[in-house]
Chains A and B, each alone.
Chain A
Amino acid sequence: MYEGMEAEVSQEPMELDRELLKGSINLLILRLLSQRDMYGYEIIQEAKRRSENAFQFKEGTLYPALHQLQQRGCLRSQWQTADSGRKRRYYSLTAKGRKLSQERRKSWTFFIDAVNAVLTED
């Protein structure tokens, strides 16, 4: 899993552990792209919107993560030109990426449930 992604967490509404986010970047990318094809800036915006600004990535660090997933055959990309004339590189999941996305989601849910179970013991 890509470990180098730098994520900064806003102070609002709650401070999240930076380390906690580190290992979850690929999962976020895979899950967002499982909804629809997106380009880099759009992925960032969507992550911010869905997390209500909890995730505020250093946006440039998204690209090495995207390219690593593409190198591993989980993503494919395609250039398109927007109405504004700006070029967009849209990423989409491959079958391998889709499978990985499901696996990661399952293991994440398992992990969260396990952590919650321990926490509720308190």
Chain B
Amino acid sequence: MSEHEMLVEKIMSASGIFGHQRKHDIATEMRCHIEDIIDEELAAGHDEKEIERLVALRFGEPEEIAQDFATVYRSQRIVFTMLSYALLGIVSVFLVAAFVYTIQFGAARWIGASTAHIFAKSHMQSEIPLLAGVTFGYLCLYFSERLFGRKRFAKSIAFTGTFFIFAGICMKLLGFAGVAPLFAGLLYASFVRSLEQIFSFSVLRLVGVLVFFTLIGRLAPYFAPCSIAWFLFLPMYLAIAVSSQFISYFASIFDRQILRRHFA
């Protein structure tokens, strides 16, 4: 990579400009400007080494230019980042709920039990916040880690916990049920994320997640006040275990395809 290309890359990588096309356009624009400077200095009779120095001198400090760009696009970047996270969260909750309900429905039909329990209001009032807690909790833990430099996991738990406390208070004030399942969901998400921190080997992680949710599925009927038939708890928690792995996959895809490509 030439010095001039490195200069443009340096600016672009620290500029915080979002959007693949926009980044490409701005890089092209600056690259063409540098080529014009080179032509001008060549015509003035400077040699290659001198031209390199003059380009750097004339174009300015890349950090400073990047900082100015970051200021220009800051508000748009914040809005689009928030929208992207919100969209990821909503789509993930929807997919997880669809999967968990399909498994429960299939399990009930398979053993010839009534499916009315699954869609009962009391059950949904606790299960939807639980699934939302697992999904949003996981995503919040996953992405908030990068806000911190040291002790990232502990700080992300503190950050996510604060966010959930705020959400719980809002739910209480607005009269929504399901605050406890929401926090249970966060607890499960924290466990899944902890396993990911401990085991780099994915099979061990998967086994850990399955064992954990099987235990929860076996114990939950003794503690849960909702009306769902006890035999549906185990499939439900196993479906959550599988879903947690889906969420992990969605998060990494989102990170690679959206965040790193458009916002990095």
Which residues does chain A contribute within 8 Å of B25, judged by CB atoms?
79, 89
User: Are A59 and B64 interface neighbours, CB within 8 A?
Assistant: no
Q: How far is the CB of A60 from chain B (nearest CB, A)?
A: 4
Given contacts A41-B36, A41-B37, A87-B28, contact A59 B59 (CB under 8 A): yes
Which of A29-37, A64-72, A110-118 forms part of the interface with chain B? Answer: A64-72
User: Are B29 and A63 interface neighbours, CB within 8 A?
Assistant: yes
> Quick one: which of B44-88 are within 8 Å of A by CB?
58-62, 64-65, 67-69, 71-73, 76
B121 at interface by CB-CB < 8 Å: no
User: Are A6 and B37 interface neighbours, CB within 8 A?
Assistant: no
Given contacts A63-B26, A63-B65, contact A40 B60 (CB under 8 A): no
Q: How far is the CB of A48 from chain B (nearest CB, A)?
A: 11
13 residue pairs bridging A and B, Cβ less than 8 Å apart: A4-B64, A41-B32, A58-B64, A59-B37, A59-B59, A61-B68, A63-B29, A63-B33, A64-B68, A71-B76, A86-B35, A86-B36, A87-B32
Provide the A49-65 mask, 1 if CB < 8 A to any CB of B, else 0.
00000000011110111
Alpha-carbon distance A58/B61, docked complex (angstroms): 8
A104 at interface by CB-CB < 8 Å: no
Q: Which of A41, A64, A71 has the most CB of B within 10 A?
A: A64
Alpha-carbon distance A59/B32, docked complex (angstroms): 12
Output the nearest chain B residue to A69 by Cβ-Cβ distance.
B72
Which residues does chain B contribute within 8 Å of A79, judged by CB atoms?
25
A-B contact count (CB 8 A): 69
Alpha-carbon distance A118/B29, docked complex (angstroms): 43
Q: How far is the CB of A80 from chain B (nearest CB, A)?
A: 11
User: Are B72 and A68 interface neighbours, CB within 8 A?
Assistant: yes
User: Are B28 and A59 interface neighbours, CB within 8 A?
Assistant: no
User: Are B65 and A61 interface neighbours, CB within 8 A?
Assistant: yes
B interface vs A, CB < 8 Å?
A: 11, 25-26, 28-30, 32-33, 35-37, 58-62, 64-65, 67-69, 71-73, 76
User: Are B71 and A4 interface neighbours, CB within 8 A?
Assistant: yes
Which residues does chain A contribute within 8 Å of B68, judged by CB atoms?
4-5, 61, 64-65
Output the nearest chain A residue to B71 by Cβ-Cβ distance.
A4
User: Are A60 and B11 interface neighbours, CB within 8 A?
Assistant: yes
User: Are B72 and A6 interface neighbours, CB within 8 A?
Assistant: no
User: Are A41 and B33 interface neighbours, CB within 8 A?
Assistant: yes
Which residues does chain B contribute within 8 Å of A22, judged by CB atoms?
none
Within 8 Å by CB of A4, from B26, B32, B62, B67, lies B67
Within 8 Å by CB of B32, from A5, A60, A86, lies A86
A76 at interface by CB-CB < 8 Å: no
